[in-house]
A and B are shown apart, each in its own frame.
Chain A
Amino acid sequence: GESVGLHLPTLSVQEGDNSIINCAYSNSASDYFIWYKQESGKGPQFIIDIRSNMDKRQGQRVTVLLNKTVKHLSLQIAATQPGDSAVYFCAERNPGTYKYIFGTGTRLKVLA
Chain B
Amino acid sequence: DGGITQSPKYLFRKEGQNVTLSCEQNLNHDAMYWYRQDPGQGLRLIYYSQIVNDFQKGDIAEGYSVSREKKESFPLTVTSAQKNPTAFYLCASSLGGASYGYTFGSGTRLTVV
A98 neighbours in B (Cβ, 8 Å):
31, 48, 50, 56, 97-98
Q: A5, A43, A94: which contacts B90 (Cβ < 8 A)?
A: A43
Report the interface size for chain B: residues with CB under 8 A from the other chain. 27
Q: A45, A93, A102: which contacts B43 (Cβ < 8 A)?
A: A102
B104 within 8 A of A: yes
Band of interface residues on A? 20 to 34
B109 within 8 A of A: yes
- Quote the shortest CB–CB distance from B101 to chain A (angstroms): 5
- Quote the shortest CB–CB distance from B100 to chain A (angstroms): 9
B48 neighbours in A (Cβ, 8 Å):
98
The interface stretch among B12-20, B34-42, B68-76, B77-85 is: B34-42
Asked if A49 meets B101 with Cβ closer than 8 Å, knowing A4-B39, A41-B107, the reply is yes
- Quote the shortest CB–CB distance from A86 to chain B (angstroms): 13
Q: A6, B39: Cβ atoms under 8 Å? A: yes
B22 within 8 A of A: no
Q: How far is the CA of A104 from the CA of B90 in the complex (A)?
A: 15
- Quote the shortest CB–CB distance from B76 to chain A (angstroms): 14
A94 neighbours in B (Cβ, 8 Å):
98
Interface residues of B in 18-38 (CB under 8 A from A): 31, 35, 37-38
A3 within 8 A of B: yes
B50 neighbours in A (Cβ, 8 Å):
98
A-B contact pairs, 19 of them (CB 8 A): A2-B107, A2-B109, A4-B38, A6-B39, A7-B39, A34-B101, A36-B104, A41-B106, A41-B107, A43-B104, A44-B104, A89-B42, A98-B31, A98-B98, A99-B98, A100-B102, A102-B35, A102-B42, A103-B42
A-contacting residues of B (Cβ < 8 Å)?
6, 31, 35, 37-43, 45, 48, 50, 56, 88, 90, 92, 97-98, 101-107, 109
